[in-house]
Structure 1
Amino acid sequence: MMAYLKVKRSALTFGPELGEGGFSTVYQATWRQSILKRQEVAVKRLHKVNPSEVEIMSKLDHPNIVKLLAVLDESPDYFLIMELCTGGSLRSYLDQRHGNRLPLDQLCNLAKQAALPLKYLREMEILHKDVKSPNYLIAKGKILKLTDFGIAKNLKETMSNATQSASYPWMAPELMKDLKLSPTYDIHSYGVVVWELLTLEVPFQGLEPQVVVMRICGDNERPPIPPDCPQPIADLLRKCWAVDWRKRPSIDEVLSVISDRQAVAVAAKIDRQRQILDGSWMLERKIGGSAASLLTKPYGMAVNHQGDVCVANWDAAKVQVYSQQGMHKSSIDTKLGLKPGTRSWPREVRISSDGSLCITDYRSSLKSIVLLVGIGKSGLQYHLKTNPQLMKTLV
């Protein structure tokens, strides 16, 4: 057990209230440790003393877990003095974004920071039991720290009856059904936190606890995964939310997926293009049309930097440009500049690093032509390049 100090009430000067839960109220305070040394701290006043919370917190020492610094025990008052996290809770941070979703790199970073304390707790054979966004605090340097061990348990007690309930929207189904805990209980809750990072939303917001229980246990419902969620993360969430706790991933598996940002980023890019091409606009209505601007045999597709979709139309020897809503914007005649009688077969459309499009065109002589296409304020601009090696210089 790590040592912690016992202090007197006179050593604390209380400031504003930071938050209140079912079992405690948290204040900001100044702790006078000596004449020359003062420290800003968070002070948690327990409405009901829970000795196991102090016992568990006194064992913990991890950069992503709020540290217990001292205890004030002067009946009837019982306070835990802990390090102060000035950035507020993760839930508050997400609310303050007002729907402006997190960049993928930041999402993966926060998801990893949220998982690291769970790995440490697993090694310490401790189950937090109340993993949720309000219980992650943001410290200096944008470090995420897990707090509130009021209902935490040792793993050896996980299969015994649970006498205290956690927060229903984050609660795993085994606790709702028969008041049993499992060794992977926190993994289910962690999945809900990652879903919050993805959507910024509150799970099952506004629903009464009994309705949440009915949906999770009776209907096997889970928070809806966004359609543009990168596939590795979507698969991870489904595993985290498995009804059978034995089928949930280990914390090491979780960290393996979340830490591989390159794989997640590549999957997100592919999913985004697939969504634009297959879901968010009705390209299929244009295929087979008779008008000159409609598609007949689309061979290659790409999305430019403005979100427009460019399609190589083989039969018409054109590259068509459509908005995300499916509206035709402009066309490129790939036969322009060729000798009369020369056939043009645009096949491949790719996006370059500068936002321009690179189109490979196969002529009847089997020599490739590269067209560089850009969309500017003056409209569609393009020019021909007959050097096939130019393709190698484009991303």
Structure 2
Amino acid sequence: MKRSKGPDLLPHPADHARLTKTISDVKTLLSDIEIGPHIGAGTFGQVYKGRWKGTSVAVKVIGHQGAGYKSNSQTSREAMIGLASAHPNVVAVYRVITAENEIIAAEIWAKDGFNLKTYIVMEYCDKGTLEQHRKAGWALLQTDYQRGLVWVLRCLLEIVFGMEYLHSLSIVHGDLKCANVLCKSSTSDARGFTCKVADFGLSKTVATDGVSAITSKPGTAVFAAPELLRAGSLAAESDVYSFGVVAWHLISMGSGLADMEDVQVHYQVLEKNWRPAFPKETPQQYRDVVSTCWATEKKDRPSFHKVRLTLTKMLAEEVAARSQILRSQRSQSGDVDVRTALKDIIAVDPRSLTG
């Protein structure tokens, strides 16, 4: 079907009819979604709290231009990855709806297609982001290091569960950081929440291990692997590097990289092979696993499967050590209830015990 060139010409009548029907259908679909207050921003859109079929949801609204009725690549990628994923540590996507942008008249034909909005209806995580909980972890590390370390290890293992699952689907996240890990209430966990990987706007599908995709959007510089900073080369191992930086952030007890400009990160990482220092209290085993994750060469980084095995062992050791301490205290005083006290330590997730 041929159209006259030019950004401001009317669409072909057949296109207009299809668009009108599409808009009508979309408005019907949107009618059962109540969009409430603004709660944040993702990589490519604004996020609102909403209600859908009696359930609290998060609704990401992305304005864009699409060829015909299709969304742009980032919008489509994020939506499709969410719809295709089914894991307790990955944020679920329930529905994706693309509609006419109400600011633009339906009849106007823009240069790259019609002006659209895509609504991604997602699982609502009521505890915010892991970035918002870091200070709670630091406070616990400073008052009771062993309990704080268990808190950190549980968060990291849940991230690893989610990332290992995504990698099994050949999905590379591309922007893993504390702000892209959402937290949802959990009554069975002493932390009060469980962690879920989110925000797939920069994700890529990579067919096999060791294969890289090229991206023009390297994500957040502080969390980006050297190959991503240098050449926009994104692979599964790049996510492992980012995870190493996340792990450092959770154990750093107030230290941070927020004051570093992107140009400083590029220079320090690429020219000086720099990595941030660990607090002196950090266990050697923790230092070792993080250091292998952020190795300069991606071939030297472990898979998330290997990271999971290491962190699981560390968590089991910490819980066993804490249990022994509490039993010792109980033998000296009848005031300590071991079972009650262990609830503060957080039991090992059965999923972490599988090979």
Structure ranking higher on relative contact order (CA contacts 8 Å, 6+ apart): 2
Secondary structure of the residue aligned to 2:98 is strand
Does the 8 Å contact 1:199/1:226 carry over to 2? yes
Percent of residue pairs bearing the same amino acid type: 27
Given candidates 252, 267, 292, the residue that maps to 1:239 is: 292
Secondary structure of the residue aligned to 1:197 is helix
CA distance 1:160–1:250, shift in 2 (3 Å): closer
Q: Report Cα offsets for 1:116-157 as digits up to 9, x if no partner.
A: 011101111110111111111111211111110111100139
* 1:105 matches 2:141: no
Residue in 1 that maps onto 2:130: 90
Secondary structure of the residue aligned to 1:81 is strand
Secondary structure of the residue aligned to 1:73 is strand
The amino acid of 1:70's aligned partner reads R
Given candidates 191, 196, 217, the residue that maps to 1:145 is: 196
Secondary structure of the residue aligned to 1:225 is coil
* Mapping of residues 9-48 of structure 1, within 5 Å: 9-31=30-52, 33=53, 38-48=54-64
2:152, 2:316 → 1: CA distance? 14
Residue in 2 that maps onto 1:284: none
- Give the superposition deviation at 1:160: 3.3
Aligned residues: 266
2:165, 2:218 → 1: CA distance? 23
Structure 2: where are the runs of 5+ without partners?
1-24, 65-71, 102-116, 142-146, 187-192, 331-355
* 1:62 matches 2:115: no
- Give the superposition deviation at 1:266: 9.7
The amino acid of 1:91's aligned partner reads E
Q: Which moved more, 1:145-154 or 1:202-211?
A: 202-211
Structure 1: where are the runs of 5+ without partners?
270-304, 306-351, 356-395
Residue in 2 that maps onto 1:193: 246
**Structure having the higher Rg:** 1
The amino acid of 1:207's aligned partner reads M
TM-score under structure 1 length normalisation: 0.62
1:182, 1:201 → 2: CA distance? 30
Residue in 1 that maps onto 2:347: none
- Give the superposition deviation at 1:79: 0.8
Does the 8 Å contact 2:49/2:58 carry over to 1? yes
- Give the superposition deviation at 1:96: 5.0
Q: Calculate the aligned-residue CA RMSD, in Å.
A: 2.7
TM-score under structure 2 length normalisation: 0.69
- Give the superposition deviation at 1:262: 5.7
Given candidates 259, 268, 277, the residue that maps to 1:215 is: 268
2:253, 2:158 → 1: CA distance? 17
Higher strand share: 1
1:255, 1:41 → 2: CA distance? 30
CA distance 1:58–1:354, shift in 2 (3 Å): closer
Does the 8 Å contact 2:237/2:303 carry over to 1? yes
